[in-house]
Amino acid sequence: MSDPHTPRTMGQQFGRRSWAEPWKIKVVEPLTMTTRAQREQALREAGFNTFLLRSDDVYIDLLTDSGTNAMSDRQWAGMMLGDEAYAGSRNFYHLEAVIQQCYGYRYVVPTHQGRGAEHLISRTAIRPGQVIPGNMYFTTTRLHQELAGGRFVDVIIDAAHDPHDPHPFKGNVDLAKLEAVIASEGAANIAYVSLAGTVNMAGGQPVSMACVKDVRALCDRHGVKLYLDATRLVENAFFIQEREPGYADRSIAQIVRELCDLTDAAWMSAKKDSLVNIGGWLAVNDEGLFEELRNLVVVYEGLHTYGGLAGRDMEAMAIGITESMQDDYIRSRIGQVRYLGELLADWEIPIVRPTGGHAVFLDARAFYPHVPQDQFPAQLLAAELYLDAGIRAMERGIVSAGRDPQTGEHQFPKLELTRLTVPRRVYTQAHMDVVAESVKAVFDQRAAATGLRIVYEPKYLRFFQARFERV
């Protein structure tokens, strides 16, 4: 069933009454077009890793939605209001007030980006040997939890691991799994429950408000804290508004606030939802935890009133947060991702269903059933997409999952995905058409593709810097 919010299907349903973005373009940035021969050379030099390509060699860049947002004229104007004082910048106080109002937490600590916040919360809230249950791992989040001596345990519902399961809230926590972890480890040995909305590695899938309420109640029964990765919470709120009974008439801002109010603290990579190119924060309700975080931030990020950011960046973030909560904006944002997903689904190209918030995830196992997982089918698919039309995607499979810290063996995730991540307010519908047609061309050539082997592998977060060659 098509979704009524998709621009294309709106036209089909109501007879050419299409729906478009609530903004127009004021500044443009030229793109580079390359030949196949140039791309072959660039990919070889990049060791078949799209992270190692120069962006000048990329035509349509769907590597990530992180820090790739187009800012509004208001945000650029805000940059001129940057107060670059070392201490007590007025932009920090503006940002603090906006976070307190929109996300609802009492205390705010700015950080340079999401992983700066993950580092601080992990160091502060995890004792060595403790367990952190969560709704699927995220690469940087789990690494910081492990570096702090913790162990992540996945408690997401089984449907999240099945690319074709149409569950509307595939980010939900399986309460029985969570209860079992608390029972086996003991509540005192749970550092906190780590809840993400949306869930990136599951395909940008949302968590429902009903589920968060249940998790909150379970945490309360056991005296366990509930912390939120709010990186794409605005996108999550859109899915709640669209799919969850009782929320159709609530605004995105109200839903975000209601969900945050069910949690004890949050960390944020503002480079996603908040429509900026850099920035992050931690926000908590507990004064003692805040004291520790505020002290630690000066060691690793910068003074507690800038946390590694320029004043102008904090101003752009404050304005971006407000813009991100506007219902028309978020509908167009998700609508564009869904438009791409529906084009591919119409052509029977295997993607994660339902289409998530920030990206369309291609099911690389279904693309290349003849390529074993330890020959990196999703990495291969990203490479083939680049070769076909200069489109840059990202691997989200076995390379991203990394090695087991105990055994050193590959971890084999059920999902072997290649992510077409859509930057916010950057590309047009015509770009999405070009992307879809390239994916189709690569799909039609799938039988000829051969696997990859690793020739260089760094110790941490290998997907960023590993190098490959064809088997």
CA angle at residue 299 from 293 to 303, to 5 degrees?
75
Which stretches within 105-189 are classed as H helix?
A: 114-125, 139-147, 175-185
Spatial CA neighbour of 435 closest among 343, 348, 370:
343
Is residue 86 annotated as a catalytic residue, yes or no? Answer: yes
Task: Compute the distance between CA of residue 463 and CA of residue 422 in angstroms, rounded to an integer.
Answer: 19
Is residue 152 annotated as a catalytic residue, yes or no? Answer: no
| C-alpha distance from residue 321 to each of 16, 103, 144, 264 (Å) | 33, 10, 26, 20
For 385, phi then psi, to 5°, come to -65, -40
Which one, 23 or 300, has the nearer CB to ligand PM9?
A: 300
Two structure tokens written together for 232? 């794409």
Which one, 94 or 419, has the nearer CB to ligand PM9?
A: 419
- Least CB distance from residue 449 to ligand PM9, whole Å? 24
Which one, 89 or 113, has the nearer CB to ligand PM9?
A: 113
List the end-to-end C-alpha distance of the chain, in Å, as a whole number. 40
Q: Are 99 and 105 in contact (CB under 8 A)?
A: yes
Supply the DSSP symbol for 64. Answer: -
CA 220 remoteness from chain centre: 28
- Least CB distance from residue 152 to ligand PM9, whole Å? 13
CA 308 remoteness from chain centre: 21
Q: Which residue is nearest to ligand PM9 (CB)?
A: 114
Is residue 3 annotated as a catalytic residue, yes or no? Answer: no
Which one, 196 or 360, has the nearer CB to ligand PM9?
A: 196
- Least CB distance from residue 161 to ligand PM9, whole Å? 17
Is residue 376 annotated as a catalytic residue, yes or no? Answer: no
- To the nearest 10 degrees (0 to 180), the angle between helices 90-103 and 252-261 is 90
Which one, 9 or 66, has the nearer CB to ligand PM9?
A: 66
Task: Choose, from 103, 138, 192, 427, the residue flagged as catalytic.
Answer: 138
Task: Choose, from 9, 139, 141, 231, the residue flagged as catalytic.
Answer: 139
Task: Choose, from 331, 353, 396, 419, the residue flagged as catalytic.
Answer: 396
Task: Choose, from 39, 115, 271, 272, the residue flagged as catalytic.
Answer: 272
Is residue 138 annotated as a catalytic residue, yes or no? Answer: yes
Which one, 120 or 182, has the nearer CB to ligand PM9?
A: 120
Task: Compute the distance between CA of residue 156 and CA of residue 137 in angstroms, rounded to an integer.
Answer: 9
Radius of gyration over every alpha carbon of the chain, rounded to an integer in angstroms = 21
Work out whether strand 107-111 and strand 151-154 pair parallel, antiparallel, or are unpaired: unpaired
- Least CB distance from residue 116 to ligand PM9, whole Å? 7
- Least CB distance from residue 358 to ligand PM9, whole Å? 8
By CB under 6 A, name the binding residues for ligand PM9. 64, 66, 113-115, 138-141, 196, 200, 229, 231, 269, 271, 280
Task: Choose, from 57, 229, 264, 363, the residue flagged as catalytic.
Answer: 229
Task: Choose, from 32, 54, 74, 86, the residue flagged as catalytic.
Answer: 86
DSSP state letters, 229-269: E-TTHHHHHHHHHHHSTT-TTS-HHHHHHHHHHTSSEEEEE
User: b/e string for 151-177 if b means 16 or more Cβ within 10 A?
Assistant: bbbbbbbebbebbeeebebbbbbbeeb
Is residue 392 annotated as a catalytic residue, yes or no? Answer: no
Is residue 463 annotated as a catalytic residue, yes or no? Answer: yes
Which one, 271 or 462, has the nearer CB to ligand PM9?
A: 271
- Least CB distance from residue 447 to ligand PM9, whole Å? 30
Spatial CA neighbour of 166 closest among 203, 215, 212, 201:
203
- Least CB distance from residue 117 to ligand PM9, whole Å? 8
Enumerate the active-site residues: 86, 138-139, 229, 272, 396, 463
